[in-house]
Amino acid sequence: MTVLVDTSVLGRLANTDDPSHWVAGAAVLEMRRRRETLLIAAQNLIEFRNFATRPLMDNGLGLLVTEAQAKAEEFESLFTVVPDTPEIYPAWKWLASLSAVTGKQVHDVRLIAICKVNNIDRVLTFNVRHFLRLAAFLPGISILSPNSIAKPVG
């Protein structure tokens, strides 16, 4: 089975001070143990750079560009990057119209469109509520929380 790893998970993997850092890491390790195919999209890396280079006072990580780039390259080595294809935009347009989303959630619609185009059947995210609403328009895509996957340590 294939799983798209959301930017919310990447951000917590990169931020060792985040209380959910260990949950994100444990969920990824558990999914690897289960031999899941873990994927990211170019969009995840773009969103991650936005978050990583944003100042701490603006709810970012406050990393230098070189530090953010190094983290992104680490993610590229840990996860398979799904290619952007011309089919993604029409799928996004259809789903954005159908779901009538606005604001930042248009980015989540694009990730669901990427899943549709690439036959990815699950999304791993800390923003479960956002993605559940969108996945309702595409039966066959499940939304997973790292909290439901991570095995307790000890």
Q: How far apart are CA 54 and CA 65, in angstroms?
A: 10
* Structural Rg of the chain based on CA atoms: 15
Check residue 119 and report its DSSP letter: T
| pTM of the model as a whole | 0.94
pLDDT tens across 108-141, in order? Answer: 999 999 999 999 999 999 999 989 999 989 889 9
The number of residues in the chain equals 154
Residue among 139, 143, 137 at smallest CA distance from 98: 137
Q: How far apart are CA 154 and CA 152, in angstroms?
A: 6
What are the structure tokens assigned to 33, written together? 């143990």
**Which of the following CATH numbers is that of domain 2-149: 3.40.50.1010, 3.30.465.10, 3.90.1150.10, 3.40.640.10?**
3.40.50.1010
Confidence of residue 154 (pLDDT cuts 50, 70, 90): low
pLDDT tens across 58-100, in order? Answer: 999 999 999 999 999 999 999 999 999 999 999 999 999 999 9
% of the chain at pLDDT higher than 90: 88
Residue 142 pairs in a beta bridge with 122
Q: How far apart are CA 148 and CA 114, in angstroms?
A: 23
Residue 41 pairs in a beta bridge with 82
